[in-house]
Amino acid sequence: MTDERLLLIDDDVALCELLSDYLKHEGYRVDAVYSVDQALARLTEGPSYDLLILDVMMPGRTGLELLQELRPRVLTPVIMLTGRGQEIDKILGLEMGADDYMAKPCNPRELLARIRAVLRRGQYASLHQSSIEAVIALHGIELDAGRRTVSVKGEPMELTSAEFNVLHELMKHAGAVLSKELLTEKVLHRKLTAYDRALDVHVSRVRQKLALSLGGDVELIKTIRGQGYLLVKE
């Protein structure tokens, strides 16, 4: 039995029951709600959750609207469920701060793998950093791997778990090009697949937040065509 609690948000009651039963069998504590309003009430008044599984398309207010309302106030990891072919919803969701996505109908075993990967991200820094390496400072950015906090010019910057891991990897290897394949495995804890834009969107979000915090036309993260990404050292 794990201590992790999940919240399923989907208007498909049968699917929620199927996924709930499967995930409970795997040791998770699972609650389900069937609308955005029910989700907001549960998140406000109910227990704290380690991860949200959110359907994009629901009657009334959509999952994207809920995500927009939650971010950046609530940094709980989010996996979106999207209809096949809804590429724009996937990109919008990631840009709004979702951590990952899956197309519906989803295979429960694959969803379980994604859940485990996303939850691992929150433990990543403490598992992989010694106390000597815990704080990295560069370009006015200070990243504390142990506390999982980032400040720019002394001001805190809010990042999702995936965004934090993107910046962490790039700062650890400043001046070196990191391939998309490597970053996907380090940041998302899965293999890069064809047409997978998740990493690109997370990198873009980190770029935007750094630009807002640093001001001007500062571009610290470079795209090296055909190779990957690089955070400039000098």
Residue owning tokens 């090009």 = 177
- Per-residue pLDDT reduced to its tens digit, 151-195: 999 999 999 888 999 999 999 999 999 999 999 998 888 888 888
Which amino acid would we find at residue 223?
Answer: T
Amino acid at 102: M
CATH no. for residue 94? 3.40.50.2300
Domain that holds residue 140: 124-231
Provide the whole-model pTM: 0.74
Residue pointed to by tokens 């955070």:
231
* Same-domain check for residues 131 and 216: yes
End-of-domain residue from the set 72, 87, 121: 121
DSSP label at 59? S
Distance CA 78, CA 35 (A): 16
Looking at the fold, whether 129 and 221 belong to one and the same domain comes out as yes
Domain-ending residue, one of 95, 121, 147:
121
Same domain, residue pair 73 and 133: no
CA distances from 27 to 4, 24, 55 (A): 8, 5, 22
- Please identify, among 87, 121, 155, the residue that sits at the C-terminal boundary of a domain: 121
* 13 and 67 share one domain: yes
Residue pLDDT, tens place only, 35-51:
999 999 999 887 899 99
- Please confirm whether the linkage preceding 59 is cis (ω < 30° from 0): no
